[in-house]
Amino acid sequence: MSVVEFEYKSGFPGLRLTHSNGDASIELLLYGAHVLSWTVQNKQLLFLSDRAVFEQGKAIRGGVPVVWPQFGPGPLPQHGFARVKTWRVGKTNIDGDVSVDLNLEHDEETLKLWPHKFHLTMTLRLSEKSFVQELTVNNEDSEAFEFTTLFHTYFTVDDIKTTKVFGLNNVTYLDKVDGGKTKTETNQSIEFTGETDRVYKDGGKNGNPLSIDGRIQIIASSTMPDVVVWNPGQEKAKGMADVGEHNFPKYVCVEVGHVSDAVKVGPNQSWKGAQEIKLLQ
């Protein structure tokens, strides 16, 4: 059981969490509180692009970006600023499971972009075949604020063309590649035949286990009811400098969050959202 600091790349310090029997590990950066790697028995379960860019202010393609306080485009930079800020290491624990807290507070730069005082804690807890990621948002302001948020998880898959995402049958979704039309999922599983970018509203609340090929299960807290399913497909991937045509078949994003409408947190109040990711096979 250990938490070890290391330098992932120059200027990008990280932490490596290792579970007692050494069979599971997680690597995360202070930059973005960004989980880059999760291995169980030496098998990598998260996708990180070989073209990912590691530069201050830029988002990293792969792993688990933390989207906060804005999902998608809007007045703030795409997907908010939490993923491009450097967090501080807080409490670590190596009794039982291994866990670490990372913290982020408002600063001059965030106040210019988003005029609210906040304190975020991202807690990561690694178990033998699973991990839990929890985001706590404290409002340290004298007025309420609103946000949307998401754990933007990139999972490795053998081939996107044979990948199936289960657990969203009968759920209403917004189809971003079909002009934002609202549709209902009629299939037992989602398959990928081209660019796919959908927001399943309350997808995590329909009682069906959310899984990728019955191999990986994703369990969201009731405060993170929406599920985004995204793969850029061949053409779009080709045009994305940090993805490339060779990478689109290797991953699927299944992202749980609160994005269909905003979370409102009053002064001195807090909110928590979490995901648990389990390796089933």
- Determine, following the binding rule CB under 6 A, whether residue 228 of this chain makes contact with ligand BG6: yes
CA-CA distance, 224 to 47, in Å (whole number)?
22
Quick check: 230 binds ligand BG6 (CB under 6 A)? Answer: yes
185 noted as active-site residue: no
Give every strand in the sheet of 35-40, ordered side by side: 2-9, 12-18, 24-29, 35-40, 43-44
Q: What is the DSSP letter of 203?
A: G
Under rule CB under 6 A, residue 201 binds ligand BG6: no
Tell me if 198 is assigned to a ligand binding site: no
Q: Which positions from 31 through 50 interact with ligand BG6, judged by CB under 6 A?
A: none
**Tokens 């199936």 appear where?**
164
Using CB under 6 A as the binding rule, whether residue 176 contacts ligand BG6 is answered as yes
- Which residues have CB under 8 Å from 152's CB, separation 6+? 64, 65, 66, 67, 79, 83, 228, 253, 255
88 is in an annotated binding site: no
The length of the chain, given as a count of residues: 281
Identify whether the C-beta of residue 145 lies closer than 8 Å to the C-beta of residue 265: yes
Q: Is 51 annotated as a binding residue?
A: no
| Candidate segments 25-33, 71-79, 201-209, 260-268, binder of ligand BG6 by CB under 6 A | 71-79
Instruction: Determine if 79 is a binding residue for ligand BG6 (CB under 6 A).
Output: yes
> For this structure, is 152 an active site residue?
yes
Q: Is 59 in the site for ligand BG6 (CB under 6 A)?
A: yes
Instruction: State which of residues 78, 170, 222, 269 lies at the interface with ligand BG6 (CB under 6 A).
Output: 78
* Contact call for residue 258 and ligand BG6 (CB under 6 A): no
**Residue closest to 17 by CA, chosen among 7, 9, 27:** 27
Residues of this chain that bind ligand BG6 (CB under 6 A): 59, 72, 78-79, 152, 176, 197, 228, 230, 255
Binding-site residue numbers for substrate are 61, 78, 83
Catalytic residues: 152, 255
